[in-house]
């Protein structure tokens, strides 16, 4: 019997939530099956659909996900058992003995936590980074003329491993800290780890945020269905009309760093930043919209990042769940460690209240951005990208006390609209520079592109035939720009806490439908799909 016919791995295109297979086959079937299932069984259907999704996308690699969930489940129970043991053991002990006994128990729990984290992070390191690390070791060996070379194994990575690994680690750590109780229900843990809308590109959820919601899903409600579909449509507009349309231009310039002058490189860097935002936030709209249909509220991953007044604020608004994960599981554990606490108190005495904590904070920040860069990909340009932001954020903190007196002396009103706009533009420029290195094909290529902006800052390429060479035409740029303006206006309204969907809900049915028809026809007509276009994979799925 030919088991390959069970469609394992045949739905690879479904990693894009705007692929035809996902939108017009998988999702509708899932919703129908889910809708007709009795309430009590809905959670199991959702779990089965999630595993089926993973199976269709990654085939047998679904085992990684299941094993990861098994391990998370076991470590949770193990920690719980140790915690119960600690409670019983400490009961009735005199105060003086309690501390030592507690330390003894905590040491055990810490060891279990370390093992759990090590297994998950280790699996991620091996699968995602072996080639990079071993390749670098071989380069060093080669530089020293050493004949020995490390064998570089090739691994196939299951989709979404960078996302579900972080969820796994967060669960074990939260159980260790007593923030959540260890779950004794394995299917619930598995659903938390595998919920299909979030498995490819996140958001990275905490157990406390989603596990109970997922386990208590109910009937699909009309409001959640319409709201969810509206959000998916909005995301589709971002992805198909803007992100995919700009792809040929971005690809061409970044693949040929020596072929274009500085003006074109600036255009490409801006376009890439727009593309990345529209791609990722568009996909998030599809993810959150799909979850909304099931009545599940996933955490937001974007909060209008291009309204940020500093790089540090930008990262609180861009890929929020990743930033929050690094903050909770790397930054705080580093700064609150005994050594760092000692460093802070001694530095505070010498450097004062502002600079003192920055010593330990800087070390923690370095760890965060090193990991952030590396999380995005196994390449030096990603590490550079991380270090670039580390330097920007740290230097922002360092010069903060100096800026205030300068502003006062120059009579700059920091709360004026003009100054805010200046800060937003400055932040955006710094972000675009970072994204240029992020997209470049290696660090040398990034340097080349960045260098040309200064060494060859002309716009001569814009004379005749440039757009044709870049694989786009002026209509592509016009429609992308118009759509960006639409998204920008909606973002301004959101920033003022006006929800378009809720406002629309209050309008008449005819008006609502007209808006939806316009949006659908806008995507159908102006979308970059079908003839003459190559489908672009979701950009964050590769991380």
Partner 1 sequence: MLTTLKNTLKGIVFTVILFALLLLASAVFIPKDNTKEVWKYDYTANGFLAEPKDTIDVLFLGDSEVFSGVSPLRIWEKYGITSYCCSTGKQRLWYTLEYLYQFLENQSPKVIFLETDLVLKYFSVDDLILHAPERYLPVLRYHDRWKQFSFTELWQAPHYSYLDKYKGYHIYGDANAANTEKYMDETNESANMSKMNQLYVDTIFDICKRTGAKFVLYSTPSTKNWNMKKHNRTVTLAEKLGVDYIDFNLLQDEVKIDWDKDTHDKGDHLNYYGAVKVSDYLGKYLSETGILKNHKGESGYGSWNTAFEAYKKDVEKKLNIKYE
Per DSSP, 379 falls in state S
Of 27, 415, 475, the closest CA to residue 249 belongs to: 475
- Which member of 473, 495, 505, 537 binds partner 1 (CB under 8 A)? 473
Closer Cβ to partner 1, 30 or 113, answer by number: 30
511 touches partner 1 (CB under 8 A): no
Q: Which two tokens stand for residue 218?
A: 């109910």
Judged by DSSP in three states, 472 sits in coil
Residue 517 — φ and ψ, nearest 5°? Answer: -65, -40
- Based on its alpha-carbon atoms, the radius of gyration of the chain, rounded to whole angstroms, reads 25
Using CB under 8 A, which of the segments 36-44, 290-298, 313-321, 509-517 binds partner 1? 509-517
Q: Which is nearer to partner 1, 419 or 529 (CB)?
A: 529
What SS3 class is residue 441? coil
Which of 8, 9, 10, 422 binds partner 1 (CB under 8 A)? It is: 10
Distance CA 370, CA 389 (A): 10
Q: Considering the complex, state which of residue 263 and residue 527 has its C-beta at the smaller distance from partner 1.
A: 527
Q: Which of residues 154-213 bind partner 1 (CB under 8 A)?
A: none
By CB under 8 A, residue 37 contacts partner 1: no
What separation, in Å, do the N-terminal and C-terminal C-alpha atoms of the chain show? 36
The piece of 85-93, 208-216, 382-390, 517-525 that touches partner 1 (CB under 8 A) is 517-525
Nearer to partner 1, 444 or 521 (CB): 521
Q: Which stretch binds partner 1 (CB under 8 A): 116-124, 363-371, 491-499, 519-527?
A: 519-527
Judge contact between 101 and 89, C-beta under 8 A. yes
* Residue 434 interacting with partner 1 (CB under 8 A): no
Confirm or reject binding of residue 526 to partner 1 (CB under 8 A).
yes
From candidates 520, 534, 537, 542, binder to partner 1 by CB under 8 A: 520
Least distance CB 524 / partner 1 (angstroms): 6
DSSP3 helix / strand / coil % (the chain, rounded to 5): 75, 0, 25
With CB under 8 A as the contact rule, the residue among 9, 13, 70, 131 that binds partner 1 is: 13
The reply on whether position 535 binds partner 1 by CB under 8 A is yes
Q: Can you read off the two tokens belonging to residue 287?
A: 């993810």
524 lies in the site for partner 1, by CB under 8 A: yes
Q: Give yes or no for residue 529 binding partner 1 (CB under 8 A).
A: yes
Structure tokens at 171: 């669960």
Count other Cβ atoms within 10 Å, centred on residue 350: 9
State which residue, 11 or 76, has the beta carbon closest to partner 1.
11
Residue from 144, 151, 468, 531 binding partner 1 (CB under 8 A): 531
CB 8 within 8 A of CB 59: yes
Q: How far is the CB of 459 from partner 1 (least distance, A)?
A: 24
Q: 360-366 long-range CB contacts below 8 Å, 24 or more apart? A: 360/334, 360/335, 361/335, 361/397, 362/394, 363/334, 364/330, 364/331, 364/332, 364/334, 364/335, 364/340, 365/331, 365/390, 365/393, 365/394, 366/390
Distance CA 484, CA 468 (A): 22
Q: Indicate the residue among 282 and 434 with the shorter CB distance to partner 1.
A: 282
456-to-30, 215, 453, 460, 491 alpha-carbon distances in Å? 54, 58, 6, 10, 35
DSSP one-letter code for 16: S
CB of 26 to partner 1, least distance (A): 10
24 binds partner 1 (CB under 8 A): yes
Q: Is position 522 an interface residue for partner 1 (rule: CB under 8 A)?
A: no
Q: Closer CB to partner 1, residue 399 or residue 521?
A: 521
Among 406, 521, 534, 537, the residue binding partner 1 under the rule CB under 8 A is 521
Instruction: Find the binding residues for partner 1 in span 475-494 (CB under 8 A).
Output: 475
Site string for partner 1, 212-241 (x = CB under 8 A): ----------x-------------------
| Sequential DSSP letters for 139-204 | HHHHHTT----------PPPTTHHHHHHHHHHHHHHHHTTSSPPP--HHHHHHHHH-GGGTTT---
**Which range touches partner 1 (CB under 8 A), out of 9-17, 124-132, 335-343, 385-393?**
9-17
User: CA separation (Å) from 233 to 118, 222, 230, 329, 495?
Assistant: 40, 16, 5, 34, 20
The one segment of 100-108, 109-117, 206-214, 524-532 that binds partner 1 by CB under 8 A:
524-532
Q: How far apart are CA 26 and CA 62, in angstroms?
A: 18
As measured in angstroms, the least distance from the Cβ of 528 to partner 1 is 8
Q: Does 513 bind partner 1 (CB under 8 A)?
A: yes
- Please list, in sequence order, all residues whose beta carbon lies within 8 angstroms of the beta carbon of residue 529, skipping any fewer than 6 positions away: 240, 244, 535
Task: Figure out which of the listed residues 17, 19, 68, 214 binds partner 1, where binding follows CB under 8 A.
Answer: 19
Does 468 interact with partner 1 (rule: CB under 8 A)? no
Indicate the burial class of 305 (C-beta count within 10 angstroms; 0-12, 13-18, 19 or more). buried
Considering the complex, what minimum distance in angstroms separates the CB of residue 160 from partner 1?
19
Phi-psi region of 160 (alpha: psi -120 to 50; beta: other; left: phi over 0): left
283 near partner 1, rule: CB under 8 A:
no
Q: How far is the CB of 299 from partner 1 (least distance, A)?
A: 29
Closest distance of CB 121 from partner 1, Å:
34
- Which residues in this chain contact partner 1 in the complex, by CB under 8 A? 10-11, 13, 19-21, 24-25, 222, 473, 475, 509, 513, 516-517, 520-521, 524-527, 529-532, 535
């Amino acid at each position: 019997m030919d088991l390959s016919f069970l469609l394992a791995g045949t739905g690879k295109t479904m990693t894009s939530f705007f692929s035809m297979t996902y939108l017009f086959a998988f999702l509708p079937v899932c919703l129908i099956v889910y809708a007709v299932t009795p309430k009590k069984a809905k959670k199991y259907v959702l779990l089965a659909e999630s595993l089926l999704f993973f199976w269709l996308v990654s085939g047998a690699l679904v085992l990684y996900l299941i094993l990861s969930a098994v391990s998370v489940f076991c470590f949770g129970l193990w920690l719980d058992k140790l915690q119960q043991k600690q409670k019983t053991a400490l009961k009735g002990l005199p105060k003086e003995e309690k501390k030592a006994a507690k330390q003894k128990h905590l040491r055990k729990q810490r060891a279990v936590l370390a093992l759990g984290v090590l297994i998950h992070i280790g699996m991620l390191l091996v699968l995602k980074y072996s080639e990079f690390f071993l390749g670098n070791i071989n380069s060093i060996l080669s530089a020293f003329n050493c004949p020995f070379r490390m064998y570089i194994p090739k691994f196939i990575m299951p989709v979404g491993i960078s996302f579900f690994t972080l969820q796994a680690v967060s669960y074990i750590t939260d159980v260790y800290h007593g923030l959540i109780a260890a779950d004794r229900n394995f299917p619930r843990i598995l659903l938390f780890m595998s919920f299909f809308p979030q498995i490819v590109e996140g958001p990275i959820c905490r157990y406390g945020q989603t596990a109970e919601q997922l386990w208590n899903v109910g009937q699909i409600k009309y409001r959640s269905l319409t709201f969810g579909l509206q959000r998916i449509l909005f995301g589709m507009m971002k992805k198909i009309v803007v992100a995919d349309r700009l792809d040929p231009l971005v690809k061409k310039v970044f693949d040929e760093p020596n072929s274009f002058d500085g003006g074109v490189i600036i255009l490409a860097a801006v376009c890439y930043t727009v593309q990345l935002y529209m791609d990722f936030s568009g996909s998030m709209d599809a993810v959150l919209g799909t979850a909304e249909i099931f009545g599940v509220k996933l955490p937001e991953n974007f909060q209008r990042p291009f309204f940020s007044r500093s790089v540090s604020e930008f990262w609180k608004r861009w890929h929020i769940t990743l930033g929050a994960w690094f903050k909770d599981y790397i930054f705080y554990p580093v700064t609150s460690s005994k050594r760092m606490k000692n460093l802070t108190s001694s530095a505070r005495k010498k450097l004062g209240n502002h600079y003192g904590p920055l010593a330990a904070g800087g070390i923690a920040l370095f760890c965060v951005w090193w990991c952030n860069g590396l999380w995005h990909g196994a390449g030096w340009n990603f590490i550079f990208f991380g270090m670039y932001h580390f330097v920007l954020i740290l230097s922002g903190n360092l010069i903060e006390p100096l800026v205030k007196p300068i502003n006062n002396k120059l009579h700059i009103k920091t709360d004026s609209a003009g100054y805010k706009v200046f800060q937003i533009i400055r932040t955006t420029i710094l972000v675009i520079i970072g994204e240029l290195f992020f997209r470049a094909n290696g660090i040398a290529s990034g340097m080349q592109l960045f260098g040309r902006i200064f060494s060859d800052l002309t716009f001569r390429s814009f004379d005749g035939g440039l757009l044709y060479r870049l694989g786009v035409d002026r209509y592509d740029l016009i429609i992308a720009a118009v759509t960006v303006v639409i998204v920008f206006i909606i973002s301004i309204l959101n920033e003022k806490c006006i929800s378009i969907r809720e406002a629309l809900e209050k309008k008449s049915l005819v008006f609502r439908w007209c808006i939806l028809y316009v949006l659908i026809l806008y995507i159908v007509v102006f979308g970059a799909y079908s003839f003459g276009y190559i489908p672009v994979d979701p950009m964050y799925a590769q991380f």
